[in-house]
């Protein structure tokens, strides 16, 4: 389940890649973003599979470079940290977010290369939340073999447009998964200490 969760999360990040010209405008809905850009992402992963497999760090750099294009990192990190983020400066929150994403990339990044290029994403619905400030996009990952996998994407409306902050695979939330893990750690250690351990690999996210 964790690999599936992370793979979908990384695909979500990849939706912001400037891979090939696609007919998605800044004002398009989150559902349009998921549906149109996922096609380009899957095509890119398939065409560069051998290159990325031979040079994993290139894949990691490639994904990391795109985080800011779509992912609302600070907001998502604050949700993961929960009550432990109260009163914490934005730079410390962002440092935690970067350490977490890098830790996940080191551990699971190559899962992106196992994505079947034959899969497709079907957008089922968009549900506005909080007076339109958020949007939940319900999708199915359609596989050539096996039942569809339900994946919901959570978007937040920002000054930069719609930005993603969570992915929910078969009812399991990225944010909630890591909130549960880090809540226990942060009861006994500071955010700085946990961030340092994530960066060094002393803590494995998802373990």
- Name residues whose C-beta falls within 8 Å of residue 22's C-beta, 6 or more positions apart in sequence: 36, 37, 39, 40
Q: Can you say how many angstroms the Cα of residue 39 is from the centroid of all Cα atoms in its chain?
A: 17
Q: Please report whether residue 12 resides in a domain.
A: yes
DSSP category for residue 88: -
Residue-wise pLDDT for 15-51, tens only, equals: 443 333 344 444 578 888 887 767 767 777 788 889 9
Q: What average pLDDT does this structure show over 114-120?
A: 75
Checking if the pLDDT of 116 tops 60, the result is yes
Q: Is residue 134 part of a domain?
A: yes
Q: Is 207 part of a structural domain of the chain?
A: no
- Rounded to 5°, the CA angle 169-171-176 comes to 85
Residue 144 maps to a domain: yes
For residue 50, what are the domain limits?
2-200
Q: Which CATH number goes with the domain that contains 180?
A: 3.10.450.710
Which pLDDT belongs to residue 142?
Answer: 84
Within-domain flag for 90? yes
Query: Does 206 reside within a domain?
Result: no
- Fill in the DSSP letter of residue 135: E
Question: How many Å apart are CA 136 and CA 144, to the nearest integer?
Answer: 25
Residue 121 burial (10 A CB sphere; 0-12, 13-18, 19+) = buried
Number of domains in the chain: 1
Instruction: Please check whether residue 205 lies inside any domain of the structure.
Output: no
For residue 62, what are its two tokens? Answer: 């490639």
What pTM did the predictor assign? 0.82
Mean pLDDT for 157-176 is 88
Higher pLDDT, 13 or 181: 181
Per-residue pLDDT band for 67 (boundaries 50, 70, 90) equals: low
In a domain, 137, yes or no: yes
């Amino acid at each position: 389940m964790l690999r599936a969760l992370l793979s979908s999360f990384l695909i979500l990040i990849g939706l912001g890649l400037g891979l090939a010209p696609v007919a998605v405008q800044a004002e398009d809905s989150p559902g349009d973003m998921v549906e149109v850009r996922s096609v380009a992402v899957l095509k890119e992963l398939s065409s560069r599979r051998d290159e990325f497999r031979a040079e994993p760090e290139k894949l990691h750099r490639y994904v990391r470079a795109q985080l800011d294009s779509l992912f609302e990192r600070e907001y998502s990190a604050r949700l993961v940290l929960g009550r432990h983020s109260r009163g914490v400066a934005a730079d410390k929150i962002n440092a935690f977010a970067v350490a977490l994403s890098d830790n996940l990339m080191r551990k699971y990044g190559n899962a992106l290369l196992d994505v079947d290029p034959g899969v497709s994403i079907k957008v089922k619905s968009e549900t506005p939340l909080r007076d339109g400030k958020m949007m939940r996009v319900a999708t199915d990952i359609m596989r050539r073999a096996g039942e569809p996998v339900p994946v919901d994407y959570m978007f937040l409306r920002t000054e930069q447009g719609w930005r993603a902050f969570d992915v929910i695979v078969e009812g399991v939330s990225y944010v909630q998964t890591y909130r549960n893990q880090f809540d226990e750690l942060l009861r006994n250690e500071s955010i700085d200490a946990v961030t340092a351990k994530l960066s060094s690999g002393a803590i494995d996210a998802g373990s």
